[in-house]
Amino acid sequence: MTREKDKTKEGTGTQDEILKELILYNDEVHSFEYVIETLIEICGHERFQAEQCTYIAHFKGKCGIKSGTFNELKPYFDELTRRELTVSID
């Protein structure tokens, strides 16, 4: 996954357009299947992508799961947090 942090979208280059990354952290609480199904449902991942993100987070401690502006990522962050996954927008 290419890290796009602090790059800007085409346009005005305002602070609101700085690309961020939604990060999933390993939590040692939820099952692999729960995390996979949640990424499919909330983030629109294909099963393979969701599986890979889940395994990367498990073995490396975290994984970037979606890129976009803060405003684009906030609804995903809110729903994943509501489902008790540990995420951040960096």
pLDDT digits (tens, 9 = 90+) for 29-59: 999 999 999 999 999 999 999 999 999 999 9
Assess if residue 51 is contained within a domain: yes
Instruction: State the burial class of residue 2 (Cβ atoms within 10 Å of its Cβ: 0-12, 13-18, 19+).
Output: exposed
3-state secondary structure of 25: strand
- Say how far apart CA 30 and CA 34 lie, in whole Å: 6
pTM over 0.85: no
Q: How many domains would you assign to the chain?
A: 1
Which residue is associated with the tokens 């970037």?
64
Assess if residue 18 is contained within a domain: no
Assess if residue 61 is contained within a domain: yes
Tell me what pLDDT residue 7 has.
Answer: 47
Helices (H), 1-88: 32-43, 47-60, 70-82
Assess if residue 59 is contained within a domain: yes
Assess if residue 79 is contained within a domain: yes
Tell me what pLDDT residue 18 has.
Answer: 93
Range of the domain at 74: 26-89
Assess if residue 11 is contained within a domain: no
3-state helix, strand, coil in the chain (%, to 5): 45, 20, 30
More confident residue, 48 or 16: 48
Assess if residue 2 is contained within a domain: no
